[in-house]
């Protein structure tokens, strides 16, 4: 199959937030899903990188939500082939990351990037964050306690670097990763406080699926926050979160 792509200048830090709409507010909107399916049937030969992410990544997420994990694997594998054929490192990194998050067979995890540099172009910075996210999640599952402590420090550095920048979605991704690292070392209260801040931002942006899509550990922390909210034991030091939003997260299909 031949692939062609129009290079997008659209920053994934922003465009990925738009992709949240592809799976809607806890539902799978038929018209948008039909558009993704039809674009897939046409093949991977057109569109910019962001549309290809919608075609392959969001399409795979929809299949996974419906219980079709083999279909999700097939969709992401096709995306990986398109990324390789077109030398699209950002698409490749996003595909690898979603394979890891969905716990599907995936290529060997990448090495951690040598350093965190936000002075590079947005595509390069996005790719570095995605690769570090994938590498860190592999280490959390397979690494030693010393390795886990090391990647916790890396996740903290990503959050520190991104906080206060315009790259709000990247900050959310780094925070989601940091929550996973904190949970892995047993720092649950700090993890929940960090997660509550991310929930507050997602509530403002109506990004219902972004945090639950971060893996089982994030789902467990979200459930814990929801229970605390219902029981009236919400820590006063945590950011305020709309009760209806956490209730909506608890009800969505996972």
User: Are residues 1 and 90 both part of a single domain?
Assistant: yes
**Residues 103 and 193 placed together within one structural domain of the fold:** no
Does a structural domain hold residue 58? yes
pLDDT at 86 (0 to 100): 93
167 falls within a domain: no
Gap between the Cα atoms of 58 and 63, Å rounded: 9
pLDDT tens digits, the chain, 254 residues: what are they?
Answer: 555 444 433 333 333 444 443 343 334 444 444 444 444 443 444 448 888 898 899 899 999 989 999 999 999 999 999 999 999 999 999 999 999 999 999 888 888 988 888 888 888 899 999 999 999 999 999 999 999 999 999 999 999 999 999 899 999 999 999 999 999 999 999 999 999 999 999 999 999 999 999 999 999 999 999 999 999 999 999 999 999 999 999 988 66
What is the model's pLDDT at position 88?
94
Domain identity same for 102 and 193: no
What's this model's pTM, rounded to 2 decimal places? Answer: 0.82
Last residue of a domain, one of 61, 76, 107: 107
Last residue of a domain, one of 79, 107, 135: 107
Instruction: Categorise residue 199: left if φ over 0, alpha if ψ from -120 to 50, beta otherwise.
Output: alpha
Residue 144 lies inside a defined structural domain of this protein = no
Q: Which of 82, 107, 132 delimits the end of a domain?
A: 107
Q: Is 20 a member of any domain?
A: yes
Picking from 82, 83, 81, 59, the residue whose alpha carbon sits closest to that of residue 72 is: 59
170 closest CA partner among 132, 221, 220, 212:
132
Domain assignment present for 251: yes
What φ, ψ does residue 56 adopt, rounded to 5°?
-90, -50
Asked, for residue 203, whether it belongs to a domain, the answer is: yes
- Rounded CA separation 244/208 (Å): 11
Quote the number of domains for the chain: 2
Query: Residue 253 sits in which domain range?
Result: 187-254
Distance CA 71, CA 82 (A): 17
**Beta bridge partners of residue 6, listed in sequence order:** 48
Structure-token pair, residue 108? 């060997």
> Rounded to an integer, what distance in angstroms lies between the CA atom of residue 151 and that of residue 112?
9
**CB contact burial 53-64 (16+ within 10 A = b; e otherwise):** bbbbbbbbbbbb
pLDDT at 200: 96
């Amino acid at each position: 199959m031949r692939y062609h792509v129009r290079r997008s200048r659209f920053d994934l830090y922003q465009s990925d937030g738009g992709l949240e709409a592809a799976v809607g507010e806890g539902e799978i909107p038929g018209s948008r899903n039909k558009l993704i399916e039809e674009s897939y049937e046409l093949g991977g030969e057109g569109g910019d990188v962001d549309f290809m992410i919608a075609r392959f990544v969001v399409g795979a997420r929809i299949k996974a939500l419906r219980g079709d994990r083999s279909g999700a694997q097939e969709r992401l594998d096709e995306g990986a082939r398109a990324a390789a054929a077109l030398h699209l490192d950002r698409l490749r990194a996003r595909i690898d990351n979603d394979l890891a998050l969905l716990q599907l067979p995936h290529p060997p995890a990448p090495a951690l990037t040598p350093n965190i540099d936000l002075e590079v172009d947005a595509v390069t910075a996005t790719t570095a964050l995605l690769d570090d996210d994938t590498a860190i999640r592999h280490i959390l599952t397979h690494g030693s306690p010393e390795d886990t402590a090391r990647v916790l420090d890396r996740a903290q550095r990503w959050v520190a670097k991104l906080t206060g920048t315009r790259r709000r979605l990247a900050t959310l991704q780094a925070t989601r990763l940091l929550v996973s690292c904190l949970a892995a070392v047993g720092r649950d209260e700090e993890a929940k406080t960090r997660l509550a801040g991310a929930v507050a931002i997602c509530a403002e942006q109506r990004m219902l699926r972004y945090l639950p899509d971060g893996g089982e550990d994030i789902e467990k922390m979200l459930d814990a926050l929801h229970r605390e909210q219902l029981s009236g034991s919400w820590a006063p030091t945590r950011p305020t979160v709309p009760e209806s939003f956490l209730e909506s997260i608890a009800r969505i299909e996972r």
